[in-house]
Amino acid sequence: MTASDAAYEVLTSAGEPLHKDELTKRMIESGLWQSDGKTPAATVVAILGTEIAEQVAASRFVRRSVCRQVCRQSALNSLRLRQEANQEVFQSIIDAVDAER
């Protein structure tokens, strides 16, 4: 399995952004990926960064910060949930204002 496929599987299972060290640890511990290099986390970040740079919006990944990676779908789901929560708050404010009239 490629590093990017392993990262995608781990991030999808996690459902949240993971620090590069935690992501790499889970990839290796689960047996999805292995590395003989001295800095496997740096390798993972480089591979995912390359996919993000080359595929842009089509990439399976989004970089949340320098060291945190997340699956694009998880990021979209998180944004969607926040938007729904905000809509509920806005609607309750509108209802309260209308009730005072």
Q: Return the pLDDT at 43.
A: 94
Picking from 6-20, 21-35, 38-52, 73-87, which range would have the lowest pLDDT averaged per residue? Answer: 73-87
Pairwise CA distance, residues 98 & 93, whole Å: 9
Mean pLDDT over the full length of the chain: 85
State pLDDT tens for residues 38-78: 999 999 999 998 988 898 888 888 877 656 666 667 667 76
SS3 state at 67 = coil
Beta-ladder partners of 68 = 19
1 vs 65: which has the higher pLDDT: 1
Q: How far apart are CA 59 and CA 8, in angstroms?
A: 11
Q: How remote is the C-alpha of 28 from its chain's centroid? A: 18
